[in-house]
């Protein structure tokens, strides 16, 4: 079979397509014929060695959707031909989705309903599960609450907008002007240009004085901002930052409103199947769509990884072998 491989850590040029043997699933694994594999920033961190190195050589890719081609001897809940999707990320995670076939443990994959698109599902794992964990598990988002999603055009952001809308929250998000109409169609009540000088005032005005929940992907930029636009008891969930030393200029803004801060990593998800099933249900009912901005073939994996780190686009990038 054809697979993207890297034999050394480095820039995207280390990714090369090779012919390798089709893997056999372990006892608790599925062999999936890959229809779509998501391209995530985390894939580049494993490639360049920023994250704990994976044994070389290896095939990258943590998000996968496709059809079960074979099952391990201990697998009871899946059969050949089943449509599935999942993500290998997490403690003791697995990779290998940039290939014609990939193995994945059964505790990181679920059945994909007929109403969900296989290509979209390949890009859903990391992005949609992160959004679900942040808003449903950590923020405990309720109907009619005001929810601010920073960066609504991103992979996590556009999934978060839809998940928040699906629970009937009132969604405020930020994005470049070119994506405003799309995000409004996805359920955002208010879409604001993230570069406007009066952004904090605009958020407070749109939320009747303050938001009840925040999904923040750039804590180094918005930690203080989140406190400034929060309502009393607001839950702020931080999923990332560009600089590892975010800080307040005035923590009194948070203390005076009893703001809760939860910093999370998807790596710590207790059971990935729980949010994966929730996301699958939303995709099946049409409440959640993963916007596939571009699709690449295996030979274009390097270009895909460059694009995921450097280009502006709405939604996700995927590889279709």
- pLDDT digit string (tens) for 113-149? 999 999 999 999 999 999 999 999 999 999 999 999 9
Cα gap 229→208, rounded to integer Å? 10
Q: Higher pLDDT residue, 249 or 66? A: 66
Nearest to 213 by CA among 256, 272, 173, 158: 173
Distance of CA 42 to the CA centre of its chain: 10
Confirm whether 2-124+290-319 and 127-267 share one CATH topology. Answer: yes
Q: Interior CA angle at 78 toward 72 and 84, to 5°?
A: 105
For the segment 156-167, the average pLDDT, to the nearest whole number, is: 98
Q: How many CB atoms lie within 10 A of CB 23?
A: 17
Give the lowest-confidence range in 164-168, 218-222, 279-283.
218-222
Q: How does strand 83-87 pair with strand 109-111?
A: antiparallel
The sign of the torsion formed by the CA atoms of 120, 11, 131, 273 equals positive
Domain parsing of the chain, residue ranges:
2-124+290-319, 127-267
Tokens of 218: 């750039």
Nearest to 263 by CA among 152, 169, 167, 139: 139
Q: How many CB atoms lie within 10 A of CB 35?
A: 21
Tokens of 146: 């005001």
Confidence band of 55 (pLDDT split at 50, 70, 90): confident
Percent of the chain whose predicted confidence (pLDDT) is above 70: 98
Superfamily of domain 2-124+290-319 in CATH is Medium-chain alcohol dehydrogenases, catalytic domain (3.90.180.10)
Contact between 236 and 216 (Cβ < 8 Å): yes
Confidence band of 93 (pLDDT split at 50, 70, 90): low
Q: What global pTM score does this model have?
A: 0.95
pLDDT (0 to 100) of residue 243: 84
Mean of the per-residue pLDDT values of the chain: 95
Cα gap 282→297, rounded to integer Å? 27
Confidence band of 89 (pLDDT split at 50, 70, 90): confident
Q: Higher pLDDT residue, 292 or 89? A: 292
Q: How many CB atoms lie within 10 A of CB 54?
A: 18
Cα gap 86→38, rounded to integer Å? 10
For the segment 56-65, the average pLDDT, to the nearest whole number, is: 94
For the segment 34-59, the average pLDDT, to the nearest whole number, is: 90
Percent of the chain whose predicted confidence (pLDDT) is above 90: 90
* One-character DSSP codes across 207-241: TTT-EEEEEES-HHHHHHHHHHHEEEEEEEEE---
For the segment 78-100, the average pLDDT, to the nearest whole number, is: 88
Instruction: Tell me the backbone φ, ψ of residue 39, rounded to 5 degrees.
Output: -110, 115
CATH for 127-267? Answer: 3.90.180.10
Whether 91 has a pLDDT exceeding 70, the answer reads no
For the segment 82-106, the average pLDDT, to the nearest whole number, is: 89
For the segment 280-306, the average pLDDT, to the nearest whole number, is: 98
């Amino acid at each position: 079979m054809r697979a993207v491989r890297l034999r050394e850590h480095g820039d995207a040029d280390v990714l090369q397509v090779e012919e390798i043997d089709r893997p056999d699933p372990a006892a608790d694994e599925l062999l999936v014929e890959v229809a779509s594999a998501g391209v995530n920033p985390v894939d580049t961190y494993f490639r360049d060695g920023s994250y704990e190195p994976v044994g070389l050589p290896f095939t990258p890719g943590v998000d996968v959707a496709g059809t079960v081609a074979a099952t391990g001897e201990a697998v009871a809940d899946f059969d050949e031909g089943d449509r599935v999707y999942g993500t290998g990320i997490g403690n003791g995670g697995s990779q290998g989705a940039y290939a014609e076939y990939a193995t994945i443990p059964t505790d990181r994959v679920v059945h994909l309903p007929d109403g969900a698109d296989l290509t979209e599902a390949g890009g859903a794992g990391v992005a949609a599960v992160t959004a679900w964990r942040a808003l449903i598990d950590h923020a405990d988002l309720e109907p009619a609450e005001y929810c601010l999603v920073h960066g609504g055009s991103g992979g996590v952001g556009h999934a978060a907008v839809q998940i928040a809308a699906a629970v009937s929250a009132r969604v405020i998000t930020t994005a470049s002007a070119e994506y405003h109409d799309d995000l409004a169609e996805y359920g955002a009540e208010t879409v604001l240009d993230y570069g406007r000088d009066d952004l904090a005032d605009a958020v407070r005005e749109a939320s009747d004085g303050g938001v009840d929940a925040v999904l923040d992907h750039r804590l180094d930029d918005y930690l203080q901002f989140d406190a400034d636009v929060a309502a009393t008891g607001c839950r702020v969930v931080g999923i990332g930052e560009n600089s590892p030393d975010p800080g307040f200029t005035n923590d009194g803004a948070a203390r005076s409103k009893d703001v809760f801060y939860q910093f999370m990593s998807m790596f710590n998800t207790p059971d990935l199947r729980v949010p994966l099933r929730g996301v699958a249900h939303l995709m099946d009912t049409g409440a959640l769509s993963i916007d596939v901005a571009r699709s690449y073939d295996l030979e274009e994996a390097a270009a895909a990884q460059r694009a995921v780190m450097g280009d502006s686009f709405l939604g996700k990038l995927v590889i279709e072998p």
